[in-house]
């Protein structure tokens, strides 16, 4: 619907309908000597597509030569190019007030009729465009709100997971400290003499098997604590990625983490 409105009521099409009016020569367009330079400059700007520059010059001419009909006519054409329909209509009407040239009057009447016919249609098309833009803005706003809620939910899940894991890591750290203390105490309290079978070196202390036996329960307890913590953290699910009405955030923005892809399987 939106694209049809643009194709049907585009400013380019409207200006093409008036090309015959804009380009039709007529005898009454005799430049006043006083405004000759301004008029020439204004027409040159119009021909080059500098409609805003042409508008300022034609308005200057009309200010100091308000009865010079051709300037009113050309100002109307310029305003038409700028899609300022109400002002263009007023300029054509002023032109007709200050000329008796039949061709110029006829061209003005044709232009006014086109404005009266096409103006409401163009306004309707603009309304459609405006409503569509407002709808897109509303959808984008809802999408942003969804994404912000999603980000907040992801952050909360990560916070809870990290809290569980950090607590477990702290317990494991204390267990490892206790493990090292126990090994040192055992080494300090033994008189056992050992001999390295490779180097022949002798020392007093624990054998590798004795040390491993002391460490084993501590290591098993640490592994158990981390395994339970990881299971607890995994149970806290990441929120589902929301669906979007308009343009969604980038994949990088909304990616919660690779581990959650595995969880979904």
Per domain, the residue ranges of the chain are 2-132, 152-263
- Per residue in 148-197, pLDDT (tens digit) is 888 888 899 999 999 999 999 999 999 999 999 999 998 888 888 888 87
CATH second-level architecture of 2-132? Alpha Horseshoe (1.25)
For residues 58 and 94, give the distance between their C-alpha atoms in angstroms, rounded to a whole number: 13
The pLDDT of residue 250 is 53
pTM exceeds 0.75, yes or no: no
Distances (CA, A) of 181 to 42, 193, 213, 223: 96, 21, 14, 19
Q: Which residues of the chain have pLDDT under 70?
A: 1-36, 119-139, 244-265
The pLDDT of residue 103 is 87
The pLDDT of residue 199 is 82
- For residue 61, with 0-12 CB atoms within 10 Å meaning exposed, 13-18 middle and 19 or more buried, which class applies? buried
Please list, residue by residue across 111-150, b when 16 or more beta carbons sit within 10 angstroms of its beta carbon and e when fewer do: bbebbeebeeebeebeebeeeeeeeeeeeeeebeebbeeb
The pLDDT of residue 97 is 93
The pLDDT of residue 259 is 43
């Amino acid at each position: 619907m939106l694209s049809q409105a643009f194709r049907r009521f585009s400013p380019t099409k409207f200006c093409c309908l008036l090309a015959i009016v804009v380009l039709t020569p007529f005898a009454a367009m005799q430049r006043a000597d006083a405004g000759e330079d301004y008029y020439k400059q204004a027409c040159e700007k119009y021909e080059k597509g500098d409609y805003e520059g042409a508008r300022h010059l034609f308005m200057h001419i009309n200010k100091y030569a308000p009865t010079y009909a051709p300037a009113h006519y050309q100002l109307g054409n310029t305003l038409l190019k700028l899609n300022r329909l109400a002002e263009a209509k007023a300029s054509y009407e002023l032109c007709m007030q200050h000329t008796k040239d039949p061709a110029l009057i006829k061209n003005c009447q044709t232009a006014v009729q086109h404005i009266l016919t096409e103006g409401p249609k163009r306004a309707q098309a603009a309304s459609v465009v405006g409503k569509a833009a407002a709808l897109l803005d509303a959808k984008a706003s809802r999408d942003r709100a969804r994404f912000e809620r999603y980000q907040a939910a992801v952050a909360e899940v990560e916070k809870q997971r990290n809290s569980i894991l950090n607590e477990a890591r702290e317990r494991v750290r204390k267990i490892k400290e206790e493990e090292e203390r126990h090994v040192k105490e055992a080494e300090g309290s033994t008189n056992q003499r050992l001999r390295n079978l490779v180097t022949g070196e002798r020392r007093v202390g624990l054998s590798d098997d004795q040390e491993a036996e002391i460490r084993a329960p501590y290591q098993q307890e640490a592994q158990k604590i981390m395994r339970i913590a990881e299971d607890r953290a995994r149970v806290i699910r990441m929120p589902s990625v929301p669906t979007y009405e308009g343009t969604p955030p980038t994949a990088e923005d909304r990616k919660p983490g690779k581990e959650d892809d595995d969880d979904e399987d």
